[in-house]
Copies of this chain bind each other. A is one copy, B any other.
Amino acid sequence: MEDGHPKMDTGARSWMQFPFLSDAAQRLMLDIADTIDREIGSLLLPSKTPSDVVRFKNSKGSAEGSVVLRSGKDRGQVRFVLGSWLHCKLTAGTLDIATLIIMLGSDIDAPHFMFEFIQNDFNSLVLLLDLLPRKDVVLEPEYLKRFYEDTGLEKLRQGLEKIPQSKVYVSTSLYVRSVVSPTALLYKFKGLQQSTEGVKEEGKEALEVLVKEIVHPTAKGVVFKWVDAFQNKGRRVEGDERKRLEERDAQIRDKGVEIDLSSNMPKLFGHEITNRVIQAYRNGV
């Protein structure tokens, strides 16, 4: 694992693989990917993502990644599901990013699902996990109440807030900060405060325990809140309201490309691979 050999023994049959994450993080991502498949898999088409997007590498071999998209059968309900990972060796160490996103369609106003997991050399961990609001909750407090105030999401957030290793994670992107809900789980975790060579392994181990015992069950809890929101709390949207929802969703998708893909990928993979991935994302297949 240390030098990045993929492991094939943890859930190899899932629609999405996360070969470079730490053991506990892999188990977490696969569990969430499997849960998504179990809960809404019947609403999705098999993935038609081109194989050179499903797996790509840069020429130096210092970075590789994967993007798998699955389109909804009825795109008014589920527009697409995206799973992706990125693994790169930087001068500062190894960076791993794993992402699972569910973008809904404009027949329904339930929140999108966003889950991102960032590991730096397995020594620190950033979690971004949220049900992304589809409406301006300041203008529409009913939306806030229906999906956030009345759903217990805040309790899950407070669970992470309380543990001493966690610190609120503030994204460098003002847009990312704006797009998330007020119950978003945005946390950075450190295994140990000290980072001297002697305790590094201990720090990694502590972080693995943390992922297994706290982050994993919390993330699972949030996924089930999302499933409940999608299956039981979403409402049909019509007319002007639908138009606004569609415009807002388009902005979220466009900004997602701009921030996640267009800004970092060209440096790591060059323009050809980047464009291929962006194209797949835009088409949602």
Contacts and interface: CB of A to CB of B under 8 A. Distances in A.
A178 B252 contact: no
Nearest to A244: B139
Interface size class of A (residues with CB under 8 A): 20 to 34
A232 to B, nearest CB: 20
A217 interface: no
A132 B182 CA distance: 15
A242 interface: no
Interface in A152-184: 154, 161, 168, 170, 174-175, 177-179, 181-183
Contacts of A248: 136, 138-139
B170 A161 contact: yes
Contact of A136 (B136, B168, B170, B181): B136
B136 A175 contact: no
A132 to B, nearest CB: 9
A137 interface: yes
A205 B244 CA distance: 52
A237 to B, nearest CB: 15
A73 interface: no
A144 B175 contact: yes
Contacts of A148: 174
Nearest to A183: B174
Interface of A: 136-139, 141, 144, 148-149, 154, 161, 168, 170, 174-175, 177-179, 181-183, 244, 247-248, 251-252, 255
Give 7 nearest A-B pairs by CB, closest first.
A177-B182, A136-B136, A168-B168, A174-B182, A137-B178, A139-B248, A178-B182
Given A148-B174, A174-B183, 11 more contacts: A136-B136, A136-B139, A138-B252, A139-B248, A139-B251, A141-B255, A144-B175, A144-B178, A154-B174, A168-B168, A177-B182
